[in-house]
Homo-oligomer: A and B are copies of this chain.
Amino acid sequence: MKLIVIGGVAAGMSAASKLKRMDKDAEIAVYERGSFLSYGACGLPYFVSGENDDYTKMIARTKEQFESMGMDIFLRHEVVKVVPEKKQVMVRDLETKRVFLDHYDKLMIATGTSPIVPPFSGGNLKNIKVLKTLEDGIVLKEAADGEGVQNVVIVGGGYIGIEAAEAMGHLGKNVRVIELSDRILRTFDKDITDLAESELIRQGVYLNLNEKVLGFIGSETVEKVQTDKGIYPADLVLLSLGVKPATGFLEGSGILLSANGAVLIDREMRTNIPDVYAAGDCAVVYNKVMEENAYIPLGTNANKCGRIAGANIAGSHTKYVGTLGSAAIKVFDFELARTGMSEEDAVRLRQDYTTVFVKSADHPAYYPDQTPIWIKLICDKRTRRILGAQAAGNKGVVLRIDIFAVAIHAKMSADELGMTDLCYAPPFAGVWDAVHIASNAVK
């Protein structure tokens, strides 16, 4: 049995590793477009900021390590076509430009995403970057460390844009974030993003909301950013306008894609074509609380779904329990985290919901360094089941959202979580934890 894996970062290498653990005789070939395998891309902002000065720390396993597990690894090799009726893939060696065919018994598609880069005027000036791959990170860090680079403009206020803003702030740059919509980090509701925006501004970041970038001005290197409202100096621009599934090469293959180009899969990671699996950011993912497929490109889903794909390729029939869209981000001195439905989701899904937004604290006032925690909950109005939770604060926020994630996963009501026995000791939590206080505030 030969498995071909297209894309060797999160889902792809999770699948390959799981298959090898379950069937050490399986033949595995991995084609990866980039120069690195199996890295934690979410660590890139902290490499750019210099908080981590060694990019190899982001690499979970190297080519050599995977090879010693018995896999054939091909870096800088791009799969340009899949032909399911012949069980073939067409591969281009990006170094030699040679194109060749390879045959699979099972195929795993794990190509992730490509950054969305609209055709801006002046878009080909130097020092206009993206941050997606490890290579991007190395290039961006070099650019940021370049002489005279002081004004950094970040276009797009999503996770990557805001993490990059912090990284650039950490490097002492003048940082401006330009965002088309009326707020940043749109997977959070406004109650929470208001807090994040205040923190960014408090840290000296210029925040331009409701503003559309029209193009870039400069002779060779970018010098200015032009928007529909003004012109801003820029020695370096990061485009972080979101990502799209890297599935263009599947055109004509017969493998079904969603409207945005994500591979359609079931909860066993099977596409519509026999023996073809997909997972990770190039594919949809089952959302447990929404009870429908969604497009949520996060490393958490990619790793879990990749592992399940590997097990199922080995002959298992494991279904993914489903994502909750749990996500966290550090915004300077603030933690933000979310899980389940946002209020925007609840409106879109015509949920009969109720919300609370409660300020409490990480621990009692009788232990030093008490800090506030804001929690927003979205609950079903009739059953009082918790559907979503979001929080912000200086510390102890992310793991509390994990507490809600388990409660949402287990379909608990606010009332039940409000009486669940959580730990209490003054350095860590109150006798009624912030989680209890928010849960018990649901009307």
Contacts and interface: CB of A to CB of B under 8 A. Distances in A.
Interface in A325-348: 325-330, 335, 337, 339
A58 interface: yes
A243 to B, nearest CB: 17
A300 B326 CA distance: 28
28 contacts: A40-B364, A40-B431, A43-B366, A46-B426, A46-B427, A51-B367, A51-B368, A52-B368, A298-B424, A303-B431, A308-B419, A327-B423, A327-B424, A328-B423, A328-B424, A328-B425, A329-B425, A399-B399, A399-B402, A399-B429, A400-B402, A402-B422, A405-B423, A406-B406, A406-B407, A406-B410, A409-B410, A410-B412
A129 interface: no
Interface centre among A327, A328, A401, A417 (most CB of B within 10 A): A328
A398 interface: yes
A396 interface: yes
Contact of A301 (B57, B399, B405, B421): B421
A387 to B, nearest CB: 14
Nearest to A423: B328
A432 B46 contact: no
A421 B325 contact: yes
Given A322-B421, A412-B410, A424-B299, A399 B405 contact: no
A365 interface: yes
Number of identical monomers bound together in the oligomeric complex: 2
A419 B366 contact: no
A431 B299 contact: yes
Interface string A294-312: 0000111101100010000
Contacts of A399: 396, 399-400, 402-403, 423, 428-429
Given A300-B422, A326-B423, A410-B412, 17 more contacts: A10-B431, A46-B366, A58-B366, A300-B431, A303-B432, A304-B419, A321-B420, A325-B421, A327-B425, A328-B423, A328-B428, A330-B427, A337-B428, A339-B423, A405-B421, A406-B410, A406-B417
A25 to B, nearest CB: 24
A288 B58 CA distance: 42
A223 interface: no
Interface centre among A301, A337, A366 (most CB of B within 10 A): A366
Nearest to A417: B406
A320 interface: yes
A140 to B, nearest CB: 16
A324 interface: yes
A130 interface: no
Nearest to A416: B321
A435 interface: yes
A42 interface: yes
Contacts of A58: 364, 366
Give the 8 A-B CB pairs with smallest separation, nearest first: A410-B410, A399-B399, A43-B366, A328-B423, A328-B425, A398-B428, A324-B421, A57-B366
Given A52-B368, A410-B406, A424-B300, A431 B42 contact: yes
A421 B368 contact: no
A47 interface: yes
B330 A419 contact: no
Nearest to A362: B399
A420 B405 contact: yes
A298 B422 CA distance: 11
B421 A300 contact: yes
Contacts of A405: 420-423
A141 B142 CA distance: 56
A240 interface: no
Given A301-B421, A423-B339, A57 B365 contact: yes
